[in-house]
Amino acid sequence: MTPGRPPRVLVDATSVPADRGGVGRYVDGLLGALGALEADLAVVCQRTDAERYGRLLPNARIMSAPAAAAHRPARLAWEQTGLPILAQQVGAQVLHSPFYTCPLRAGCPVTVTVHDATFFTEPEHYDKSRRTFFRSAIKTSLRRASRVIVPSKATRDELIRLLDADPTRIDVAYHGVDSEAFHAPSDDEKARVRARLGLGAQEYIAFLGAKEPRKNVPSLIRGWVAAVRDHEHPPALVVAGGQGHDDEIDAAIAEVPSHLRLLRPGYLRYADLPGFLGGAVVAAYPSFGEGFGLPILEAMACGAPVLTTPRLSLPEVGGDAVAYTGPSPDEIARDLAALLDDTERRTALAKAGAARAKEFTWESSAEVHLAAWTRAASPRGLIG
């Protein structure tokens, strides 16, 4: 590595899902900012993402992984065999794996992003196979990687507390928010989303995220019912995002009184997210715990008053600019009802949240990643 110049880094973006969920937002935001910083990058990705990353990084080398890598088992096998060969071919001085796993023998220093420690802190919210896989992957990455990048101090502290991770090898890089994609929506943007959802003039509470047990959607549904069932004009609840694997959601929906309206539109178009989040009377996200909490940051950036829990990293993101509640239906009902009845507080939270969201930028995150890669590429950074 030439003194004063950043190392050449191969970023493995093959784990990015087609729906551009949390890991997709992270990788897309990070790579866009790295391109602006003129980092020396090569990127390997799914074939469907090659054009996207070519636009984001016109000066980087963009390569497509084998077609079979679109399927997780094949991708994980290719990560151990094909990815190290690719790193050698492009002359990578560092290989960055952005989603928990990494090659055991990469031939160059490896950095890994570990997004959260909830597989250890909230094990009951994952099925056995998923829990076992990610626990093993995290332990392996902590042992093998030259640097581990985490999105919050809470995640760093949990890895140290639970797994005796070496704090000198962990770098905290907060996620950013794309201010062009997530912004205070116009009236037209709000109206377009309302029309698509068939809401008319009815107010609504927004949830956006995967339907995983950790996201606590059943408690949100039951809390919403208790909070609004006696309202003259009760707001709807719109639970948007992927279907996930939380069977308890259907049981909670079955309890919803017929006069209340709950919508499950599935994935929304990316362009509709500002109108959806910013048009909500409250954006609710009562998670049991997050490694960062990108959904609340994106809702804040769209000018939504946010209700979330003070669990793990969420207070790092929300600070004093969001309202907090507990994870139980009774707590959610109490605090949601109070927020719905207080227009002045909602207005203040929306303004404070939008201002706080501006503090989280992908440029800052990219600078931390570059510093971590530079340390990893130094002679003392090579491990294993």
For 216-227, give the DSSP string.
-HHHHHHHHHHH
Give the pLDDT of residue 384.
39
pLDDT for 3: 56
> What is d(CA 205, CA 224) in angstroms, rounded to the nearest whole number?
9
What's the pLDDT at 17? 85
Q: How big is the chain by its Cα radius of gyration, in Å?
A: 21
CA distances from 64 to 25, 48, 122, 193, 220 (A): 19, 8, 35, 35, 41
What integer pLDDT is reported at residue 367 of this predicted model? 97
Predicted local distance difference test score (pLDDT) of residue 2: 54
Mean pLDDT by groups of 10 residues along the chain of 384 residues: 77 88 90 91 96 94 94 94 97 97 95 95 89 96 96 97 97 95 96 96 94 93 97 96 80 96 93 97 96 96 98 96 98 98 98 98 97 88 44
pLDDT at 38: 82
pLDDT for position 139: 97
| pLDDT recorded at residue 185 | 97
